[in-house]
Every structure is written in C-alpha cells, then in structure tokens.
Amino acid sequence: MNTATFIALLGITAAIAWGISDFFAAHSAKKVGPILAATVINTVSTIIFSLTFVVFFRDHTALTASGFYYSIAAGAVLTVATALFFTGLQAGPVSIVSPLSSTYPLVTTLVAVVLFGAHLSIREVSGILLTCGGIVAASGLLNTSKSERKLTGGIRFALATAVLWGIGWGLLAQAINQIDWQLASLLSSVTAALTLILLLPFIKGLESSSWQTIKVALKSRYVLLAAVIQLIGSTALEIGISRSRDDNGAVVTAISAAYPILTVFLALRYFKERVAFISIVGAILGIVGVVILSLG
C-alpha cells in the first residue's frame, strides 16, 4: 500500500470514528451534562492512550522544548474547544452543531494567511467562499426575517468550537512535526484531561459534578463508547499528520472533516430532530468547502 492510500484510509477512519463518537457524545451530554461528559470521556481516552503508550511506545520519548510547548498549548486550546462542543451538542440541534464545528480547517488557513503571509490559490479561495456560505445557510440566518436573525446557543458554541479547534489542531500539527506523534498526543491529551478535571469545581450550579453523577457517567455505555471511538479517530488523524510531511496533514485533515455526514444521519434518525432543508444543505456545503480548502 502506498503512502497516499494509507493516509486516505486514516482520514476515512477518523471521519467514521468521529461521526459515530459525536453521536454518542451528544447522548452523553444530554444525560449527565456537557462539561462532565467531556471530562469523563477525555479522561477515559487519556487513560487508555497512556497505558497504550507505556506498553507499545515507551521508546518514543525524544522531546524538544518547542515540541513540548506546542503540545501543551494544543491540549489547553482543545480542552476549551471540547467543552464548548459538548455544550453545543447539548443545546442542539446536533445535525447542525456537528457540521459547523467541523469547519475548523478554515480557521487554520486564515491564520496562515493573516499571521504568516501565506498565499491562496483560486481553489482555496473557492473553498473559503463555499465554507462561509455553508455556515451562513446552516446557521439558519436565511430562514428568518432581518428583525429575528440571531444565532442560537448551539450554533454559537459550534462556531466558537471551530475557531478553537482550528487553532488547537494547528498547534498539535506543529508539535507532531517536531516530536513523535505518540508523545505529542500523550502530552496534549493529559493536559486536556487535567484541565477539564480542574474545571469541574467551577460548574456547580450549572450542572451536577457530584460523585454520584460521575458514577452514572462511568456506567453509561454512551460515555465509554464515545471515549474509545473518539480515541480511535484522534489516533488515526495524528498518525496521518505524522506521515504527511509534504502538506502538513492537509489531505488527511480534509478527509477527516467529513465526519458530520454520519453524525447528521444518526441525529436526524435517532434524535428525531427537525431541521430546515436549507440548513442541511448549508452544513453539507460547509463540509465540501473545507475539503476543497484543505486540498487546495
């Protein structure tokens, strides 16, 4: 199997895994609360990966200062993004929140242009326009009168998630380029789990974080399935980025960003969500725009 095919398969694996895990994550957020669900899911994922690292990857410990800082920064940013994402899933609709949050590669590209003077091809400009148009349509702003146009809570959280995921995955890609993906992933995931655990005392009054609720979360099959399947998706993407030295992970990221197609189908079927047709079309256009942008 050549490298390009292997990278494509990793992207598809990530997309399928995240598409399913988001569905289970939405169930978890609605059952025990978004922040607690995010904390338990990420902590379980971190424990599983840490044990895997000790058993299989303990020789991958070569570390640089910049690689360490990029990994820690990525973990911190992705933590906030995860908390916002789970809150958005709870607020819903899941069939719109998931696609909008997947537009994060747009942010990575814009940062490269604004901060680092990168130049865009015609294809990349087309991808940006298509993504932005898809976001506007999916947000529901085209379905209401001017006086009623406003972003709902779920959509606001989804857009904030996309911004932070764009920054966080960009930082992690820099870390993976400097140290082994295994170590970069371990550092960022441990940072994320610890940060979420430290957040729990501050959510009292917003949602329950009692030991009883934590036990309910740990016994929930949705929480455990989300943790395991999410880890599979993240690992597939990180391996893909590590094998994509020429494009800094653009292709594998583009393929993985199609994960909401599966989430939307599951949400419409099992959550019985009612979403305007133009919003669904906008969500699909946003995903297509991201793929075009990442491949540009």
Name which of 43-47, 54-58, 181-185, 221-225 the model is least confident about. 54-58
Q: Is the pLDDT of residue 81 over 80?
A: yes
Q: Return the higher-pLDDT residue of 288 and 135.
A: 288
Residue 185 has pLDDT above 70, yes or no: yes
Q: What pLDDT is stored for residue 74 in this prediction?
A: 92
Instruction: Give the pLDDT band (50/70/90) at residue 83.
Output: confident
| Per-residue pLDDT tens over the stretch 112-149 | 667 656 666 777 677 767 776 776 666 555 555 454 44
Of 59-63, 168-172, 224-228, give the range with the top mean pLDDT.
Answer: 224-228
Tell me the percentage of the chain whose pLDDT exceeds 70: 79
Whole-number pLDDT of residue 149: 47
Residue 256 has a pLDDT of 77
Residue with more model confidence, 28 or 138:
28
Q: Mean pLDDT across the stretch 149-172? A: 81
Mean pLDDT of the chain: 78
pTM greater than 0.85 (yes/no): no
Q: In the prediction, which pLDDT does 35 show?
A: 81
pLDDT at residue 276, rounded to an integer: 67
Say if residue 71's pLDDT is above 90.
Answer: yes
User: What was the pLDDT predicted at 73?
Assistant: 94
Does residue 283 surpass a pLDDT of 60? Answer: yes
Reported as a pLDDT band with limits 50, 70 and 90, residue 222 is: confident
**Residue-wise pLDDT tens digits, 245-266:** 665 566 677 777 777 777 777 7
Which pLDDT score is estimated for 148? Answer: 42
**Most confident segment among 1-5, 29-33, 185-189:** 185-189
Q: How far apart are alpha carbons 133 and 168 in whole angstroms?
A: 24
**Above 90 in pLDDT, residue 19?**
no
